[in-house]
Amino acid sequence: MADDRKIVIDVENVSKTFFVRSRKVETIRQRAYNLLRARKNKQIAIKALTNINFSVYKGEFLGIVGHNGSGKSTLLKIIMGAFPADKGGNITVDGKIIRLALGMGFDNTLTARDNIYVNGTVLGLTFKQLGQKFSSILEFAELEDFVDTPLKYFSSGMRSRLAFAIAMQTEADIYLMDEFFGGVGDVGFMQKSDHIFQDRILQGRTIVHVSHQLRILKKHADRIIWLDKGMIKEIGSPDDILPRYKQEYLKEKRKRRKKVGEQLLDLEDV
Amino acid sequence: MINTILKPFEKHLPENNRLERIWKLAQVDFKKRYYNDYFGLVWALINPLFRMAIYYFVFSFIFSQKIENYHLYLFSALIFWMYFAESTKRGLSTLLTKRYLIENIVFNRLDLFYSLSLSVIFGLLFNLVAYVGMSLITGIYFTWSVLLLPIMLFLAYIVSVSFGLILSTLNIYFKDIMHLWDMVLLAGFWITPIFFRGEEILSRAPILLYANPMSGIIINARKVLLFGELPDWNLLLFSSVYALVLFLVGRFFFLKYSHKAVEKL
């Protein structure tokens, strides 16, 4: 990795602690009650992330892997600024960010047209720009026949296509993808996503991709971060990390299945 | 229907992303509320008209309130008060209803509140049209002073946005603030000069008048709408300063304490 490249995301010493109480204290009534109680309802601190340090360069495709609950999504949300990191941590982001997650970012009661306009303007496009890009958004999403259909009638594949089509047309510099292509049983979209990354339609844009789909990461990622229990276990190339991660994942999976007898998510083949 | 009414305005917006964003969010919000059909809009009118009819009946027949053109007297204040009540109630839960946006995109969250109050203003404008019709039928014609009405609208808008900002921030930490606010609105309704004269309260308990940011706005709105007089300038100045202070406080409060919104809601 050439270090002379421009850093667009700089994560320094970031930790995140969530405070959970054994009983919920969210209302005035509960707060008053909690004050009066002799035995205080104590807060339990859950450390979701501990001392995370890394940088992302302009135009880079960074993959993040880790077991469920390792803090991947929390990390993305903190980078996005959806919630703040603990004191002492620092995040610098240079550029416009959009987070793509499955089934999110739309108002279900609105039509595709309205959702395109709402998301587009919130992302920083003017009506004029949106007007010019409108047909290509629809074309890419293959939704020409459903412009005025409320989103609640859309399949998850249709939603993902729409979300992606909008995101592609915006001036966002950084794309945070949270299991975005996971769970879509839409073969066409899967191929399309391959095509998107391969042809570098998003050229010059920075991508941070959290995924269980190691196939995509192996093919397209420049670097991989392996998160384990809220800490960075390793940062390295996909060829180096992914096979070992897969092994450990399978080991863990077998162990858990023995223990609890539960079935975990299947991993795609590396 | 709503689109055909709002579309012409859209063309005159300057090409500015922020204004367009506020406008689009407001438009979509308004459309959602009134189902996007002809009959939907009727609901925006029926509610205040129905209220007016009830209050008219109660106060003129039961309490025999003697005010000339009492139906207009009531309605001119009622549309402002209902605007304030609806705008603040919906502002309170805005962070929740617009969660789908704030979770995924970084943008100025204040815009959500500007657009929400704007969408409620669209409803108020429909009520104003009804008021004008009623006024002409009654035989009350407008004077030039009515041109000052946009000032009162603007002040009511600022006050509503400010309360929306404060309430939505409180709502992150106290999930039952909604019930409390309902009670405040109920009390507010009875101490705001909607069905009685503001002057009576002013002489007996001026604090009630000056503490309530909507009182001055409503009194002056009624002056220019119904009485065809110029507004009480001192009161107008007071209302403006009050609105500005509220806005600065609300904005500061929101920017400082709302960062935990996604985490807590």
Q: How many CB pairs under 8 A join A and B?
A: 91
Q: What is the pLDDT of residues A118-170, one digit of tens each?
A: 988 888 888 888 999 999 889 888 888 998 898 889 887 788 888 888 888 87
**Distance (Å) from the alpha carbon of B183 to chain A's nearest alpha carbon:** 15
Higher-pLDDT residue of B155 and A72 is: B155
Over 70: is that where the pLDDT of A113 sits?
yes
Q: What is the pLDDT of residues B160-187, one digit of tens each?
A: 999 999 999 999 888 889 999 999 999 9
The whole-angstrom separation of Cα B235 and Cα B152 is 11
Per DSSP, B62 falls in state I
Is there a domain that residue A78 lies in? yes
Contact check, Cβ <8 Å, A31/B177 = no
Average pLDDT of the segment spanning A180-190: 62
Is there a domain that residue A30 lies in? yes
Over 60: is that where the pLDDT of B197 sits?
yes
The whole-angstrom separation of Cα A206 and Cα A220 is 12
Q: Look at residues A223, A215, A252, A232 and name the one whose alpha carbon lies nearest to residue A53.
A: A232
Please count the helices (runs of H) and the strands (runs of E) in chain A: 8, 9
Q: What is the pLDDT of residues B198-218, one digit of tens each?
A: 777 767 878 878 889 999 999
Average pLDDT of the segment spanning B40-45: 75
Contact check, Cβ <8 Å, B21/A97 = no
pLDDT of the residue at B221: 94
Mutate to test the interface with A, among B102, B104, B116 (most CBs of A within 10 A): B104
Strand A90-93 to A7-21 pairing: antiparallel
Interface predicted TM-score of the whole assembly (ipTM), two decimals = 0.85
> Which residues of chain A are within 8 Å of residue B15 when distances are taken between CB atoms?
126-128
| Residue B213 exposure: Cα atoms within 13 Å on the Cβ side | 23
pLDDT of the residue at A170: 76
**Percentage of chain B modeled with pLDDT above 90:** 46
Dihedral angle of Cα A159, A162, A165, A166, to the nearest 10 degrees: -110
Please give the structure tokens belonging to residue B237: 């100045």
Number of domains, chain A: 1
Average pLDDT of the segment spanning B111-137: 92
Is there a domain that residue A239 lies in? yes
Give the three-class secondary structure for B23. helix
Give the three-class secondary structure for B34. coil
Mutate to test the interface with A, among B33, B35, B106, B110 (most CBs of A within 10 A): B106
The whole-angstrom separation of Cα B196 and Cα B204 is 13
Closest-CA residue of B relative to A119 is B101
Average pLDDT of the segment spanning B33-45: 71
Question: Domain limits at A180?
Answer: 7-34+44-254
Is there a domain that residue A25 lies in? yes
Q: Look at residues B203, B258, B198, B257 and name the one whose alpha carbon lies nearest to residue B223.
A: B198
Average pLDDT of the segment spanning A237-242: 88
Contact check, Cβ <8 Å, B104/A110 = no
Strand ranges (E), chain B: none
Strand A206-210 to A174-178 pairing: parallel
**Distance (Å) from the alpha carbon of A228 to chain B's nearest alpha carbon:** 22
Average pLDDT of the segment spanning B50-56: 85
A137: domain CATH number is 3.40.50.300
Q: What is the pLDDT of residues A63-77, one digit of tens each?
A: 999 888 888 888 988
Interior/surface letters B76-100, b for 16+ CB within 10 angstroms, e for the rest? bbbbbbbbbbbbbbbbbbbbeebeb
Q: Is B103 on the interface with A (CB under 8 A)?
A: yes
Among the partner residues B15, B31, B176, nearest to A28 by beta-carbon distance = B176
- Looking at the DSSP assignment, which residues form a beta bridge with residue A231? A228
> Which residues of chain A are within 8 Å of residue B262 when distances are taken between CB atoms?
77, 82-83
Q: Is B175 on the interface with A (CB under 8 A)?
A: yes
pLDDT of the residue at B44: 74
Given a contact cutoff of 8 angstroms between Cβ atoms, the answer to whether B238 and B216 are in contact is yes
Q: What is the pLDDT of residues B227-249, one digit of tens each?
A: 988 999 999 999 999 999 999 99
Is there a domain that residue A153 lies in? yes
Q: What is the pLDDT of residues A36-50, one digit of tens each?
A: 776 666 778 888 899
Average pLDDT of the segment spanning A200-222: 80
Closest-CA residue of A relative to B97 is A107
Q: Is A70 on the interface with B (CB under 8 A)?
A: no
**Distance (Å) from the alpha carbon of A104 to chain B's nearest alpha carbon:** 6
Report in angstroms the alpha-carbon separations of A14 from A60, A63, A92, B106, B154: 21, 18, 11, 19, 43
